Amino acid sequence: MARMGSRPWIWTIFILAVIAAGCNSDSLPETPTEASPKDAGNRILRVYNWDTYIDPDILTDFEQKYDVKIEYMVFDSDDDVVSELESGATDRYDLIVPSDFNVSVLRSKRLLAPLDKESIPNFVNIDPLFVSPVFDPANRYCAPYQWGTVGIGYDIDATGEEIDSWADFFNPAYAGRVAMLDDDRTTMGIILILLGYSPNTTNAGEIAEAAEFLKTQRELGLAITGDESQDLLLDGSYDLVLEWSGDIFQLMAENSNIRYTIPAEGSIIWVDNMCIPADAPNKAMAEQFIDYILDPEVGAILSNYVQYGTPNKESLPLINVFDLNNPAIYPPDSVRDRLFFLVDVNLAAAEVYNQAWEEILAQQES
């Protein structure tokens, strides 16, 4: 299909990935920076992140080194993050991890606090290709956390064949056995790609066509789930799921029948980011945590655990060789040409997406 939209700066990272040494990292760094005196009276760091998206040992190590208690909360979709902060929860969390285009949304609504780069010396470890992205010029508000793709996770023992198209979701042979994410822009974007449109279209007719396509699949028993599709695939509830790449890679160690594919029509690439809400109670501690994640060893431990791409150039030599050479994690040029970033759309188009998605969810509930 035709190239849809631009894909900025990100791709040169693969050159670095190819030449990286790929040795393993076995331990977390031993020398912490000094704790900020601002937080001496309140040693609680409230983190709001995606599920299964961090090595628990990283949280434990940070707590022990900095005499901190981490309250770790999870969300199912980017919409949850935006809704939470819009409802007045900018003082409920110290650190959030939204996706790229939602950083633009949160910035436009003035729901984020600017970063104090002097408190994040490890910011220099970020690959230049992830510095000053279009959704956050000069990284004023956020630092990259992980990046990856959206694709199909499936059980080949159940499907009996390799899967390579989004159309397989709507194959009657899999009726009642497929699930897509409760994430309007991601799932609608996939359908738009399948129909030959840009996943960032602002054309109301194209958005309506994608919504109608999903509505007509009701008889196939298409399910829409939160960020637990990987678990539903593992326990056999579904045979094909729309999921984030790393969530499926984590399952492969438990079930050798699990596969992950980036369909031939193309898919979505994303960058998740560490940001601080506007009224975070412990901003200095949150910046300390960002700096800790950007340590080369910690960054490698994180990516080796969650099996997503690292934006940390100093972590690349410490990434597991198997992951570094895995084209589903670090895709080759032939696949990269079919990947598209989601971008923030204008207010009118966003309302069209939201309304269409509400109708799709209401139909499923009925």
pLDDT 10s digits, 103-157: 999 999 999 999 999 999 999 999 887 899 889 999 999 999 999 999 999 999 9
Provide the mean pLDDT of the chain: 87
Residue at 119 is within a domain: yes
pLDDT at 15 over 90: no
pLDDT at 197 over 50: yes
CATH of the domain at 53: 3.40.190.10
pLDDT at 186 over 60: yes
- Same domain, yes or no: 119 and 258: no
Q: How many domains does the chain have?
A: 2
Binned at pLDDT 50, 70 and 90, residue 327 comes out as confident
- Same domain, yes or no: 243 and 303: no
What is the CB neighbour count within 10 angstroms for residue 14? 17
The contacts of residue 93 (CB under 8 Å, 6+ apart) are 46, 47, 48, 73, 84, 277, 280
- Same domain, yes or no: 172 and 300: no
- Same domain, yes or no: 123 and 154: no
Angle (CA) 291 274 100, round 5°: 140
- Rounded to 5 degrees, φ, ψ at 157 are -65, -30
**pLDDT at position 196, please?**
95
- Rounded to 5 degrees, φ, ψ at 143 are -125, 140
pLDDT at 2 over 70: no
- Same domain, yes or no: 201 and 314: no
* Residue 243, CA distances (Å) to 17, 152, 186 in order: 24, 6, 10
Residue at 15 is within a domain: no
**pLDDT at position 95, please?**
98
- Same domain, yes or no: 108 and 182: no
- Same domain, yes or no: 223 and 345: yes
Residue at 9 is within a domain: no
**pLDDT at position 302, please?**
98
3-class SS of residue 358? helix
Residue 78 or residue 315, greater confidence: 315
- Same domain, yes or no: 129 and 24: yes
Angle (CA) 364 193 256, round 5°: 75
For residue 221, what are the domain limits?
148-268+338-365
- Same domain, yes or no: 61 and 196: no
**Percent of the chain scoring above 90 in pLDDT:** 68
Residue at 14 is within a domain: no
| Tokens standing for residue 122 | 């490890």
Residue at 7 is within a domain: no
**pLDDT at position 356, please?**
95
Give me the amino acid identity at 140. Answer: R
